[in-house]
Amino acid sequence: MMAIEHRYLTGAYTRQEIAFDPHADYGVPERGYDLTLAYTDKPKRHLIPELMYVASPGRVLGRDTAYIEGYPPGVEEDEEV
Residues 14-68 pLDDT 10s: 888 888 888 877 654 454 578 788 788 888 888 889 998 888 888 877 666 677 7
Give the C-alpha separation, 70 to 52, whole Å.
25
Give the C-alpha separation, 80 to 72, whole Å.
17
pLDDT exceeds 60 at position 76 = yes
**Are 60 and 19 a contacting pair, CB within 8 Å?**
yes
pLDDT exceeds 60 at position 3 = yes
**Are 42 and 2 a contacting pair, CB within 8 Å?**
no
pLDDT value of residue 10: 94
